[in-house]
Amino acid sequence: MKKTECWVLTGPTASGKSDLAVQIALKNQCEIICMDSMQIYRGMDIGTAKPTPAEQELVPHHMLDIVDPGTAFSVVEYRDMAYETIHEIASRGRRPLLVGGTGFYLRALRHPMAMGDVPADPALRKEMEIEAETPEGKKRLHQKLQTIDPVSAARLHENDVRRVIRALEVSILSGIPFSRQRQPEEDCPIHCRCICLTMDRENLYARINQRVENMLHAGLVREVERLLQQGVSPEAQAMQVREQKSDQNAAVYPVGKLQRHIGRAAAPPRRRPAVHVSHLPWA
Domains in the chain with CATH codes: 4-114+187-198+274-279 (3.40.50.300), 122-180 (1.10.20.140), 201-266 (1.10.287)
* SS3 state of residue 212: helix
Dist CA 206 CA 201 (whole Å) = 8
In terms of phi and psi (left: phi > 0; alpha: psi -120 to 50; beta: otherwise), the region of 282 is alpha
Strand ranges, E, within 122-271: 190-196
Residue 7 is given by DSSP the state E
Count of C-beta atoms within a 10 Å radius of residue 276:
10
Q: Residue 260: what pLDDT?
A: 53
pTM for this prediction: 0.70
pLDDT at residue number 243: 42
What is the structure's pLDDT at 1?
A: 65
Using alpha carbons, list the distances in angstroms from residue 179 to 138, 158, 185, 211: 20, 16, 14, 34
pLDDT at 240: 65
Measured torsion, CA atoms of residues 95, 100, 105, 107, in degrees rounded to the nearest 10: 80
* pLDDT score recorded for residue 70: 87
For residue 52, give the DSSP letter. P
Amino acid 74: pLDDT: 79
Give pLDDT < 50 ranges for the chain.
114, 183-186, 242-255, 257, 259, 263, 265, 268-283
Q: Distance between CA 126 and CA 143 in Å, rounded?
A: 18
Residue 274, pLDDT score: 41
Please choose, from the candidates 31, 37, 83, the residue with its C-alpha nearest in 3D space to the C-alpha of residue 61.
Answer: 31
